[in-house]
Structure 1
C-alpha cells in the first residue's frame, strides 16, 4: 500500500517530466526514421510520382537535392532531443535513487533510445521507405527551414576540418555515374531473382553501347561475303541468290576497292527484266553507292546515322582507308537484344558446351557474345574476340596444344591456321 502511494506521489511530482521524456523519445524516433526513409527512398519512384502531380513526392525530391543539409538538420534534431531526454531522465532518477540514479538513467535511456528511437523507427522506415518518406516530408521540410542555417554552418566546419587532413569531397557529386548506378541496381535485382538474365543482358547491352566502337561489333573482313565485279554475271547472280544475306559488297581489282553494295531485291528485279537471263545483267550498274565509316565511330553515333540516313549497311575502314569489315543495323541491335535469327540464317557453331564442363569455341567468337551466353566476365577492353584475348594475354601467337590460365579460366589452343587461332577449349581454372 505504501509502495503504491509512493509511486503515485512520484507520478504527480515528475509527471510532466516523464511525459516530456516520452515525447522526446518519440521525436527522436521521428528524426531517425525520417533520415532512413529519405535517404533510402527511390529517386526514380519519387520523380515518377512528382511528374504525375504528387505534391509530397516533389517535397521529398526537394529535400534529397540538398542531402547534406537534410542529414545535418535531422542529426541536430536527433541529438538535441536525445540529450534533453537523457538529462531529464537523469534528473528524475537522481531524485529517486540518489547517486545511483546516474547509472540507472544511463541503462534505462540506452535501452529506450535503442528500441524506440533507433531500431523500431528505422526498421519501419526501411520496410517501406517511399511511403514513409512522403508521410514525413512536409514536417521535415518545415524543420529543415528552421534548422537549415545551423546545419549549413556545421557542414562548413566539418569540411574545413576534413580539409586539414587533405580530404575534400563534394556533397552533391555521386561516386558512381548514372550508368554504373543503373547497372549495379540491375545486377543486384538479378541476383535477388527480381530480374531474369535475358532482361539484365538487354539492359546491360543498352548501357554498354556508349563504350563501344563499330570495330567492336563489325563483321571482320575475313568473314565478309563479297562479289568480284570481274566474275561472269551468272556467277555473281547465283552467289547473291544462294547467300543468306540481302546485301553484299562488290569489289574490283582489290578487295579494298569496294565499288558498290548489291541488294538481293535489285538483282531479282533485274533478273525479271532480263527474262531470267543472268548474262544480260550488269551487276555493277544495279549496285548502290557504298557508305564508308571510320572504325573509331562510336556505336551510338553509328546507330543514329543508320536511322538518319535510313540505311542498314556500312563498310568499316581504318585510318589508311583500308577495309576492316562491315557493320549493319542488325549487328548493333544484337548488342542490345542478343542474337537475332531468322529462317534464312545459318546456324553458327561457334560455342559448344562439352560434357566435362569445358567449352569449345571458335577463335572468332566475340568476347561479349560468350560473356552473354555463359554469364562470364572476360575483359573485352584490349581484344574483341576470344582468340585476340589469348594473344593479348600471352603476348605471343600460341602453338597448338599450348595452354594458358588467366581471368579464372584455362585456355587450350586446339587449332591454329597460320597466324590465326581458330579453335580453343576453355575450362574453369579451379577444375584443372
Structure 2
C-alpha cells in the first residue's frame, strides 16, 4: 500500500505540472510560480488523497472495505517485487536500530476510537472499547470505595457480634482493624466462619488473612496483574502517610471496562434518582464519571474546575471553596446544584436541575 500510495502521489505531481504549465506562464516571477505550484499540489494531494477518502472510509467502513479489498489484493500482488525487498530491508534496519515503542496518548486513542465508531456500532461495545483505552491511565483512588463508606470490624468484638454484623451487611470480605481503621490487621472471609457458626464462642481472629495494601496512585492495569498473580479480590488503599484511604475490589476494576456490575458493594437505588427530565437527586458520594454519564453533559467544563475531587460533593467544595449550608444553591455550567442533606461535615444529597 505504501508503494502504491507513493506511485499515485508522484503521478499526480507529474500530471499537475504538465497540465498547469500554460496556466502559470502568465506569472513572470519563477519563485512565485514555484510557491503556488507547491501550495496547490500539496492541497490537492492532502484533501483528495488523504482527508476525503479517510472520512468516507471511517463513516462507511464495511461498504468501503468490500469495494476496495479486491483492488488492494490486486495491487499487492503486482507491486510485490518492489514491496517485499522493502519490507525485508525495513525489518533488518529495525532489528539493528531497535524498534521504538508507540507513544500514543490515551487522548489520541480515544479520538481514534471516536472517529472509527459509527451508528452501527453497539453502544455496549463502544463503552467497553472506551473503558479498555482509559483503563491503563486510571488510578486506584478513582474507583475505590472511600474510607467513610468502609464496613470494618474491630478485633476485640465478640463472635456473636461479628456473626450479627456480617449477616446484616452481606459482605463476603471484611477488613479487620486493631484500634482504628488506619491499623488494619487482616481480612476476614465470611465463608471461613461457616464451619464455626454453631459455636457459642470462638476466636474468629484466627481466621484472618493477610491484607493486601496498595497506594492511591497505582494504575488499574498493574493492580489487575497483582490481583491475578496473588489470587486476591480485595485490596486496602493507603495514602502517602500510610492511613487507610479506601477499599478496591476486583469487581471495581472490571467495572471500568464492562460497566456497572451489581454486587454487594453497589446500591444503585441510593446513588441517584431521576425526578423528571430536568431534575435529579444524587448522593454526594457518587463518582463524577457516573454523574457525567447519567446527566449526559460535557465533562470538560467540570473537569477544569474539579481539582482533585472525584465525587459530586467534592466538586461542589472545589467550586465554592467552603462548606455549603443546607438548601444552598450553586449555579454552574448550565446546572443548578441544591444541597438537600448535610450530615455534620459531609454533603449527603444534592439535587441537580438542568437549565
Q: Is the aligned partner of 1:358 residue 2:252?
A: no
Superposed CA offset, 1:277-322 (max 9, x none): 2x32111111111121111211111111101100011111111111
Structure 1 unmatched runs, 5+ = 1-59, 65-69, 89-113, 146-171
Query: Which residue of structure 2 aligns with residue 5 of structure 1?
Result: none
Alignment counterpart, residue 183 of structure 1, candidates 91, 102, 110: 110
Are the counterparts in 2 of residues 359 and 426 from structure 1 also a CA contact under 8 Å? Answer: yes
Query: Which residue of structure 1 aligns with residue 221 of structure 2?
Result: 300
Q: Is the aligned partner of 1:220 residue 2:154?
A: no
SS at match of 1:359: strand
Corresponding residue pairs, total: 301
Quickly say closer, same or farther: Cα 1:63–1:280, change in 2 above 3 A.
farther
Report the Cα distance in structure 2 between the residues aligned to 1:423 and 1:345, rounded to whole angstroms: 17
Structure 2 unmatched runs, 5+ = 23-43, 58-63, 85-99
Query: Which residue of structure 2 aligns with residue 200 of structure 1?
Result: 126
Quickly say closer, same or farther: Cα 1:404–1:136, change in 2 above 3 A.
farther
Q: Is the aligned partner of 1:391 residue 2:317?
A: yes
Query: Which residue of structure 2 aligns with residue 154 of structure 1?
Result: none
Quickly say closer, same or farther: Cα 1:408–1:202, change in 2 above 3 A.
farther
> CA offset at residue 372 of structure 1?
3.2
Name which of structure 1's ranges 198-207 and 312-321 shifts more when overlaid on structure 2. Answer: 198-207
Alignment counterpart, residue 424 of structure 1, candidates 339, 350, 354: 350
Are the counterparts in 2 of residues 244 and 345 from structure 1 also a CA contact under 8 Å? Answer: no
Q: Is the aligned partner of 1:376 residue 2:303?
A: no
Report the Cα distance in structure 2 between the residues aligned to 1:403 and 1:223, rounded to whole angstroms: 26
Quickly say closer, same or farther: Cα 1:343–1:413, change in 2 above 3 A.
closer
Alignment counterpart, residue 289 of structure 1, candidates 173, 187, 210: 210
Query: Which residue of structure 1 aligns with residue 12 of structure 2?
Result: 78
**TM-score normalised by length of structure 1:** 0.61
Quickly say closer, same or farther: Cα 1:208–1:368, change in 2 above 3 A.
same
**TM-score normalised by length of structure 2:** 0.73
> CA offset at residue 410 of structure 1?
2.5
Superposed CA offset, 1:336-367 (max 9, x none): 11221259975542111112521110000011
Are the counterparts in 1 of residues 214 and 237 from structure 2 also a CA contact under 8 Å? Answer: yes
